[in-house]
A and B are shown apart, each in its own frame.
Chain A
Amino acid sequence: MAILVDKNTKLVVQGITGKEGSFHATQCKAYGTQVVAGVTPGKAGQKVEGIPVFNTVEDAVKETGANCSLIFVPPAFAADAIVEALDAGIEVIVCITEGIPVRDMMMVKDYMKKNYPNAKLIGPNCPGVITPGEAKVGIMPGHIFKKGNIGIVSRSGTLTYEASYQLTQYGLGQSTAVGIGGDPVHGLSHKDVIALFNQDPETEAILMIGEIGGTAEEEAAEFIKEHVKKPVFAYIAGITAPPGRRMGHAGAIISGGKGTAQAKMQALREAGATVIENPAFIGKTIAEALGKV
């Protein structure tokens, strides 16, 4: 089970002949993901580490039955690549590309909502999705994850690795870890992923890693309050971030007194989540709360 990706995932990698694309397609395959196809326009017939390359996503879907896409296309063309995957009927799209213009993402998200309301976009500017032991669809180092029952959702890549590593230290594995990305316009939100974990029988507890900026964490808190019975743990990064300065992620900015870490932590506490203040104790706190130490 788990969410989004599993052993039945058939992956097509868009931009597979590029440096990043070929490296990570190979890594995903080595982890055990079924990487069935690659796409680079004009390069049909080639192979990358034994993976057949097609001109279009549509061809790849027809020939191989691909049902999930991983995108490494450069920022100027990435929005188009997402549209191509949508039009080919792919329902789980993971876009790694960093630096896509916000306007492009705004247009794509609008198109997606109107035409493919069931499709799930993860990213852009994200590490991807991993269901340990089943499928890795992203750029994360597979070896720090362990099969288990904690669902993780986070905007940040390395912070996800940090949290998973800490959990693994305490013998707590992960059902699925989802990096939703740090851009202001992105696909699945914290709330969306928490809703998926809430329905997933393999997920026993949820760890949400948020950061300053926007209101996504507050919306997730609303949802948790209403719908989630599983234990939820939360950490919010950026308590020391000064207002008006963008902290790396395009979305991570406190503007007009909105999006502060304090406000987000408060909302999550009120929703019944356990808020972890010291990021070094994410693993320990969860292990203790679940009676695993």
Chain B
Amino acid sequence: MKLHEYQAKELLKRYGLPVPEGRVAFSLQEALQAAEELGEFPLVVKAQVHCGGRGKAGGVKLVKSMEELQQAVEGMLGKVLKTFQCPEGKPVSRVWIEKATNIQKEYYLSITLDRAVSKPVLMASAEGGMEIEEVAKEKPEAIHMLHIDPALGLMPSQARKIAFQLGLPVNDFVKIALGLYRAYIELDASLVEVNPLVLTKENTLVLLDAKVDIDDNALLRHKDLEELEDLTQLDPLEVEAKKYSLNYIKLDGNIGCMVNGAGLAMTTMDIIKLAGGEPANFLDVGGGAKVEQIANAFRILMADFNVKAVFINIFGGILRCDRLAKGLIEAAKMVEIKVPVVVRMEGTNVEEGRKILAESGLNFINAVDMWDGAQKAVALASKGG
């Protein structure tokens, strides 16, 4: 789960990390009030969206007066911010207003899981402000990497070494690194990133930007964090799918896919592409999908206007083919099926499933295997489009 910058900063502040003083505002009135409370200009107005590259896209503005503040806020709130990272854009429903920082130099600091060794890794670099991926590609030697022992945690001596290497105020940096690690662990974060970490002209360290992603699996013990999720940053169909525990990701193509299992769902997208088509989505209905879930999955697929054909690819394991067939019949009662539907079923109770569909009177097209199904769906979609 992604959090907004302001939420990340408010959380990290609780761990003793130095963040610029600021306020969140959902309306112009709240923004003016916030400026009043902060008491002095210049201030920085930052659009809150789940997307990087805001600065270049006009989502971050330095303002020196109430007039400029008003202009900046009006230019952001209620608008869609498009950045190079999200060309489709994200709606701005709130802005963060903070006191401006006197920047001397920018650094990079993050903690995430290194999957290769199953340990957290702290990364720090003097090339702040840049995308860390860029730095990794062009100047890998500029990134200091430190693997952290999960049982021991991050030790001051380890953080100190990095502070000396980067030439940063040692005590301040150690406090920040240790606090950041504590936040990473206690919040069950999958990523905590400070980019940039700023050395101010006053020789102090400040978290100018902050990013915290939470491990979705850990939300079961962080009900308070779960409430922070901003659903406006997600695709509405994805939000709808989440309600029924369906794993749905909208894509740009015109062939809707419904599959059980994440691996097979990706494979189905791939085979559509191999057959010359473009998948409209990733949809994993899960191993133990119930009739109701299948019906809702189908409804969500149909709600995507780009879909010109549907390819259902199910390998029955726990999800039995007869249950799938019943779900499809239920779905057909709920939504009007306006596009051709190709069904490929195999596995547990497949004969029963095929029989149920054949006797249902629904005009589904049978496929003998994945390749046949993909080719049929692609041919039908191009005819319909």
- Return chain A residues, CB-CB under 8 Å to B218: 101-103
User: Are B215 and A101 interface neighbours, CB within 8 A?
Assistant: yes
In the bound assembly, the distance between CA atoms of A143 and B136 in angstroms comes to 48
A50 at the interface (CB under 8 A from B): no
Chain A residue with the shortest CB-CB distance to B137: A257
A161 at the interface (CB under 8 A from B): yes
- Return chain A residues, CB-CB under 8 Å to B270: 237-240, 261, 279
The stretch from B168-176, B194-202, B314-322 touching chain A is: B314-322
Complex interface residues of chain A between 114 and 140 (CB less than 8 A to chain B):
114, 127, 139-140
In the bound assembly, the distance between CA atoms of A188 and B296 in angstroms comes to 36
In the bound assembly, the distance between CA atoms of A278 and B271 in angstroms comes to 7
User: Are A247 and B119 interface neighbours, CB within 8 A?
Assistant: no
- Return chain B residues, CB-CB under 8 Å to A214: 115-116
Q: Output the least CB separation between A107 and chain B (Å).
A: 5
- Return chain B residues, CB-CB under 8 Å to A158: 259-261, 263-264, 287, 315, 317
Q: Output the least CB separation between A135 and chain B (Å).
A: 18
B273 at the interface (CB under 8 A from A): yes
A185 at the interface (CB under 8 A from B): yes
User: Are A144 and B347 interface neighbours, CB within 8 A?
Assistant: yes
Say which size band chain B's interface belongs to.
35 or more
In the bound assembly, the distance between CA atoms of A249 and B264 in angstroms comes to 11
Of the residues A106, A156, A160, A250, contact of B118 by C-beta under 8 Å: A106
B36 at the interface (CB under 8 A from A): no
Complex interface residues of chain A between 137 and 163 (CB less than 8 A to chain B):
139-141, 143-144, 154-162
In the bound assembly, the distance between CA atoms of A106 and B113 in angstroms comes to 9
User: Are B217 and A102 interface neighbours, CB within 8 A?
Assistant: yes
User: Are A106 and B317 interface neighbours, CB within 8 A?
Assistant: no
In the bound assembly, the distance between CA atoms of A100 and B374 in angstroms comes to 34
In the bound assembly, the distance between CA atoms of A141 and B317 in angstroms comes to 5
Complex interface residues of chain A between 229 and 264 (CB less than 8 A to chain B):
237-242, 245, 247-252, 256-257, 261
Q: Output the least CB separation between A285 and chain B (Å).
A: 13
B229 at the interface (CB under 8 A from A): no
User: Are B266 and A248 interface neighbours, CB within 8 A?
Assistant: yes
A38 at the interface (CB under 8 A from B): no
- Return chain B residues, CB-CB under 8 Å to A237: 263-264, 266-267, 270
- Return chain B residues, CB-CB under 8 Å to A212: 266
Q: Output the least CB separation between B306 and chain A (Å).
A: 15
Say which size band chain A's interface belongs to.
35 or more
Q: Output the least CB separation between B132 and chain A (Å).
A: 7
Of the residues A114, A144, A162, A239, contact of B273 by C-beta under 8 Å: A239
A10 at the interface (CB under 8 A from B): no
In the bound assembly, the distance between CA atoms of A158 and B217 in angstroms comes to 22
User: Are A161 and B317 interface neighbours, CB within 8 A?
Assistant: yes
In the bound assembly, the distance between CA atoms of A105 and B316 in angstroms comes to 29
In the bound assembly, the distance between CA atoms of A100 and B316 in angstroms comes to 25
In the bound assembly, the distance between CA atoms of A183 and B264 in angstroms comes to 16
- Return chain A residues, CB-CB under 8 Å to B59: none
- Return chain A residues, CB-CB under 8 Å to B185: 103
B371 at the interface (CB under 8 A from A): yes
A75 at the interface (CB under 8 A from B): yes
A277 at the interface (CB under 8 A from B): yes
User: Are B220 and A139 interface neighbours, CB within 8 A?
Assistant: no
Of the residues A184, A215, A238, contact of B113 by C-beta under 8 Å: A184
A80 at the interface (CB under 8 A from B): no
A280 at the interface (CB under 8 A from B): yes
B44 at the interface (CB under 8 A from A): no
In the bound assembly, the distance between CA atoms of A159 and B369 in angstroms comes to 14
In the bound assembly, the distance between CA atoms of A161 and B260 in angstroms comes to 11
A6 at the interface (CB under 8 A from B): no
User: Are B132 and A256 interface neighbours, CB within 8 A?
Assistant: yes
In the bound assembly, the distance between CA atoms of A209 and B118 in angstroms comes to 21
User: Are A162 and B267 interface neighbours, CB within 8 A?
Assistant: yes
Complex interface residues of chain B between 363 and 379 (CB less than 8 A to chain A):
369-371, 374
B274 at the interface (CB under 8 A from A): yes
- Return chain B residues, CB-CB under 8 Å to A114: 151
B346 at the interface (CB under 8 A from A): yes
- Return chain A residues, CB-CB under 8 Å to B119: 106, 110
Chain A residue with the shortest CB-CB distance to B371: A280
Given known A75-B217, A110-B119, A127-B317, contact A102–B274 (CB-CB < 8 A): no
Given known A76-B221, A103-B185, contact A139–B269 (CB-CB < 8 A): no
Chain B residue with the shortest CB-CB distance to A219: B116
Q: Output the least CB separation between B32 and chain A (Å).
A: 36
A41 at the interface (CB under 8 A from B): no
- Return chain A residues, CB-CB under 8 Å to B348: 141, 143
In the bound assembly, the distance between CA atoms of A211 and B284 in angstroms comes to 15
- Return chain B residues, CB-CB under 8 Å to A219: 116
Chain B residue with the shortest CB-CB distance to A261: B270
In the bound assembly, the distance between CA atoms of A106 and B121 in angstroms comes to 12
Q: Output the least CB separation between B180 and chain A (Å).
A: 15
Binary interface encoding of chain B residues 258-294 relative to chain A, with 1 for a CB under 8 A from any of its CBs, else 0: 0111111111011111100001001010010000000
B188 at the interface (CB under 8 A from A): yes
Complex interface residues of chain A between 209 and 226 (CB less than 8 A to chain B):
209, 211-212, 214-216, 219
Of the residues A102, A154, A241, contact of B188 by C-beta under 8 Å: A102
In the bound assembly, the distance between CA atoms of A71 and B315 in angstroms comes to 24
Chain A residue with the shortest CB-CB distance to B136: A256
Of the residues A110, A160, A165, contact of B150 by C-beta under 8 Å: A110
User: Are A247 and B266 interface neighbours, CB within 8 A?
Assistant: yes
Given known A103-B185, A256-B133, contact A76–B261 (CB-CB < 8 A): no
Of the residues A99, A143, A277, contact of B217 by C-beta under 8 Å: A99
| A185, A247, A280, most chain B CB atoms within 10 A | A280
14 contacts between A and B (CB under 8 A): A75-B217, A101-B188, A102-B218, A103-B185, A139-B318, A156-B264, A157-B261, A211-B266, A215-B115, A216-B115, A247-B265, A256-B132, A257-B137, A281-B371
The 6 A-B pairs of least Cβ separation, nearest first, read A156-B263, A248-B262, A158-B261, A280-B371, A159-B263, A256-B133
